[in-house]
Structure 1
Amino acid sequence: MEAFPTINQTDLQLEFDDRPLPKRVGLVILATDHTTEPDFQRMVASSNIGLYTSRIPYANPTTPENLRRMLHPMREGAWMILPDEELNAICYSCTSASVVIGDDEVERALQQAKPNVPVVTPTRAAVKGLQAFGAKKISILTPYTIETSKPMATYFSAKGFDIANFTCFGLDDDRQMARINTQSLITAARETIASDADTLFISCTALRAASVAAEIEQAIGKPVVTSNLATAWATLRICGEHSLRPELGSLMAQPMANW
């Protein structure tokens, strides 16, 4: 049997950075989410910005009633992200739930766990993105059922947008939404964009639309705002990152008004 080695504790004077990475972004996502983390790793994460994720319980089908049930779990999820440490921003990654719960209520819940941290919802980010393009009349494309799409239409109308047309796929499982291939999203955008719409908004953080936003813009000849693209864009601007990255979609070359 080998003798246990002697372990020596060094007296070397260590130096410590304030943070492992300069900026910290928290993500509160659904347990069933396939898309937000890959999108944020691609668009937001860098040697300057770290991503820290918490998953919260969610059960399909995607209905207004099930979406509202996430209010209390999202608060718990936020508490689990780097407890007692500051964040630069925290994002709640569910567009339809942000509508039925309300941006302000989501913000209150997350700030109970992370006081004074800017809270980014996909809906509020989408509004900022549409405003950055000066959009007045918009087309909306969602994967949801008509029942879940109705509050979305009400939300954007209340924000002052004229909805030229609203198209949904009729799906009620976010895992199925995540499996829609990107070519189908490009085709759907081309076929559903209204000729008189200024901008297309593609809702749902489960959709992989952000990964092909530039291709969709080329196909329809208009700016595109998607849930994850808008959330990533707003998060970057809040974190003081203003570099232009139009290859990710023209929104990533736009400034953002105060959050």
Structure 2
Amino acid sequence: MTALGFLHPGHCAEDDYPRIEQLLAGDIRVDLVRADPGQEGGEDGGLTDASLRLGAPHRLAAGVEQLRLSGAEAIVWASTRGSFGYGQEGAREQVRTLATAAGMPASSTSFAFVHAAREVGAARVAVGATYPDGAAAQFAEFLRAGGLEVTAVHAAGVTAERAGAYGEAEVLALARAVDAFGADAVLLPDTALHTVACLPALERELGKPVLTANQVTVWEGLRLTDRRVNAPELGALFRREPIVQV
């Protein structure tokens, strides 16, 4: 059994995680806890200071012990805005602090996007964000600092609660808004979006890999534990043959 631990920023799209667990191999467990039970809400892209407070070390530490007791082998801070908002160096320090506190490998959703884009061979990416312009531009800069070319950025400028209420049609529209700019993959960075159920439809519609926040977050946990899982329902990122142990 491989146990993956995730610190989540709020109440938006948490149900994507058990859905992903159902689509993975039967020996993978996905454990999700609130980063700080006293902090309400999800990733509200319009509240920069609140998003950064979510990623503060004392808030992340609040859920670490619970994940340690669950037997997690790796931990991922499941917040895009709460990691890229610190910039590359700040986000790296955030991950180092989390790994030290947890005593296990750690990462965050922002780094997961960079690693996942490389995994699917996407050097050029387009970003369909629910964030306001400033936050969307900051995420694009984070990607560039990670070595990716960003061909287009669309900023819808809605709250986490509104993003969490998006259905498949609205998620598709968000992806289409940046698809005509020569990107190898389209990235939808908000963890508040429900995307797992519509990943096959997204990739059929666009004809290219689509990387979404909750999808790449779980993939990053698997990467940290050296697990590779073939789960086509989770998109091109998971259409890889599993590593055979000999």
Flag whether TM exceeds 0.5 (same fold).
yes
Distance in 2 (alpha carbons) for counterparts of 1:108 and 1:140: 27
Q: Deviations along 1:198-239, whole A, 9 cap, x unmatched?
A: 111111111112321221111111111111111122223434
SS of aligned partner of 1:54: strand
In the alignment, does 2:103 pair up with 1:119? no
1:93 alignment partner in structure 2: 78
| 1:23 maps to amino acid | T
Contact 1:132 1:255 in 2 (8 A): no
1:40 alignment partner in structure 2: 17
| TM-score, length-scaled by structure 2 | 0.84
Q: Name the stretch that deviates more: 189-198 or 89-98.
A: 189-198
Residue 161 to residue 241, structure 1, CA distance change in 2 (3 Å):
closer
SS of aligned partner of 1:208: coil
| CA apart distance, 1:145 | 0.9
Q: Name the stretch that deviates more: 74-83 or 181-190.
A: 74-83
SS of aligned partner of 1:128: helix
1:12 alignment partner in structure 2: none
In the alignment, does 2:39 pair up with 1:54? no
1:181 alignment partner in structure 2: 167
Distance in 2 (alpha carbons) for counterparts of 1:50 and 1:86: 10
Identity value in percent: 22
Distance in 1 (alpha carbons) for counterparts of 2:237 and 2:81: 21
| 1:129 maps to amino acid | A
- 174, 190, 198: which one aligns with 1:212: 198
Unaligned 5+ residue runs, structure 1?
1-21
User: 1:133-172 counterparts in 2 under 5 A?
Assistant: 133-171=120-158
| TM-score, length-scaled by structure 1 | 0.80
In the alignment, does 2:221 pair up with 1:235? yes
Distance in 2 (alpha carbons) for counterparts of 1:65 and 1:113: 24
1:13 alignment partner in structure 2: none
1:69 alignment partner in structure 2: 53
In the alignment, does 2:234 pair up with 1:248? yes
| CA apart distance, 1:137 | 1.5
| CA apart distance, 1:143 | 0.4
In the alignment, does 2:204 pair up with 1:225? no
How many residues matched?
230
- Counting helix residues as a fraction of each chain, which structure ranks higher? 2
- 105, 108, 112: which one aligns with 2:96: 108
Residue 162 to residue 51, structure 1, CA distance change in 2 (3 Å):
closer
| 1:108 maps to amino acid | R
Distance in 1 (alpha carbons) for counterparts of 2:94 and 2:21: 22
SS of aligned partner of 1:80: helix
Alignment RMSD: 2.2
| 1:222 maps to amino acid | K
